[in-house]
Structure 1
Amino acid sequence: MQPLSRRIVLVRHAKARQDGPTDAERELEDRGRADAAAAGRWLAGQGVGADHALVSAATRTRQTWEAMARAAGWDVVPDLDRGFYGAGPETAMDLIRLTPGEARTLVVIGHNPTVAYLAHLLDDGEGDVEAATAMAGGYPTGAVTLFGFGGDWADLAPATATVLAFHVARG
């Protein structure tokens, strides 16, 4: 097994309003903004920085990124991807594989069911048992899984990332 030289922060967007002009334009609720900020503070407390971010172009994911990044002290400009909005787990993994090689920590913010399925797909079963068990119990809004990964981004495949932590942010 290679050393875990890279990190993936996989996030389901924070709590959003039920209505909007379109589903993609739904905004975060006040609670969602607070939860996203709480996630950012938790990640900063874990010593997690961000070198690159892949964020669905939907309003609620962009707003999750903005609140999280502000609270974590990150100044990375995210890659807002329209295709990630409706992507399934395999397509999401393909998008992650395109991460620039110099990035050590990638933050990915998307939607369920894709994010939850991707988290389980990536899990190699060698990580933090409590975190993996909590993740298996559900992937609510504001959920964050921190993975370690020991290869090049292009080599990411099912069961190649190690769960280091799981957290459900509540502000």
Structure 2
Amino acid sequence: MQSQPRRLLVVRHAKAEQEGPSDVERALAAQGHRDAAAAGRWCAERGLVADHAWVSAARRTQETWEDLAAAADWTVEGYVDPGLYAAGVDTAVDLLRTTPADATTVVVVGHNPTMSTLAQLLDDGEGDPAAEEDMASGYPTSGLALFEYDGAWADLSLTSARLVAFHVARG
């Protein structure tokens, strides 16, 4: 076990256009680009530096990641996982368990209801009560839940991470 907790940022994609050639091809709306950049600035203000990222194959999640990472000044490439697009919570947890062991701050960018349910189920109830209350009131687009986790990624399980912050980014 490492001396500092690992961090996991669970991100719901930013606001997307209502229509596109297909659901997976829907792009971010102009507001979504601004919100994703605001999310990146929020991360930078907290000193978060991602060293691994899982991103759904949908266009809107990839654009969210690109804007968030650029505004946070992160250089890590997002790993686009096609299975994350339609993943349920169990699949998302299985994916997170495959995170490289040396990663300390991991970002996952996906869709609701999976991201909100994942965040609620990861929460061990020992974190920040205000963040828990904020997260329980809704997980809108550009919602970010920041967790601390003390174990190995391979051992990640439900109710194993402390919620330390919840933020809805608006630019």
TM superposition score normalised by structure 2:
0.98
Task: Please list, as runs of the form range in 1=range in 2, the aligned pairs for 1:34-73 lying within 5 A after superposition.
Answer: 34-73=34-73
Q: Which residue matches 2:79?
A: 79
The residue matched to 2:165 in structure 1 has which SS?
strand
The residue matched to 1:106 in structure 2 has which SS?
strand
Contact 1:4 1:148 in 2 (8 A): no
Q: Distance in 1 between matches of 2:46 and 2:131?
A: 14
Q: Which residue matches 1:149?
A: 149
Q: Distance in 2 between matches of 1:55 and 1:32?
A: 16
Q: Distance in 2 between matches of 1:60 and 1:42?
A: 20
Q: Distance in 2 between matches of 1:92 and 1:46?
A: 25
Question: What is the CA RMSD across the aligned residues, in angstroms?
Answer: 1.0
Amino acid at match of 1:59: R
In structure 1, the gaps of 5 or more residues are none
Alpha-carbon offset, residue 87 of structure 1: 0.3
Amino acid at match of 1:150: D
Matched, 1:105 2:105: yes
Q: What per-residue deviation string (whole Å, max 9, x for no partner) do you get for residues 72-108 of structure 1? A: 0001011100000000001000000000001000000
Q: Distance in 2 between matches of 1:108 and 1:45?
A: 19
Q: Which residue matches 2:89?
A: 89
Aligned length: 170
Amino acid at match of 2:63: Q
Q: Distance in 2 between matches of 1:80 and 1:37?
A: 19
Q: Distance in 1 between matches of 2:68 and 2:121?
A: 24
Alpha-carbon offset, residue 4 of structure 1: 5.3
Alpha-carbon offset, residue 5 of structure 1: 1.6
The residue matched to 1:91 in structure 2 has which SS?
helix
Q: Distance in 2 between matches of 1:135 and 1:4?
A: 24
Q: Distance in 2 between matches of 1:153 and 1:110?
A: 18
The residue matched to 1:126 in structure 2 has which SS?
coil
Q: Distance in 1 between matches of 2:115 and 2:163?
A: 14
- Show structure 1 runs of 4+ deviating over 3 A: none
Q: Which residue matches 1:116?
A: 116
Q: Distance in 2 between matches of 1:138 and 1:86?
A: 20
The residue matched to 1:15 in structure 2 has which SS?
coil
TM superposition score normalised by structure 1:
0.98
* Identity across matched positions, percent: 58
Contact 1:55 1:62 in 2 (8 A): yes
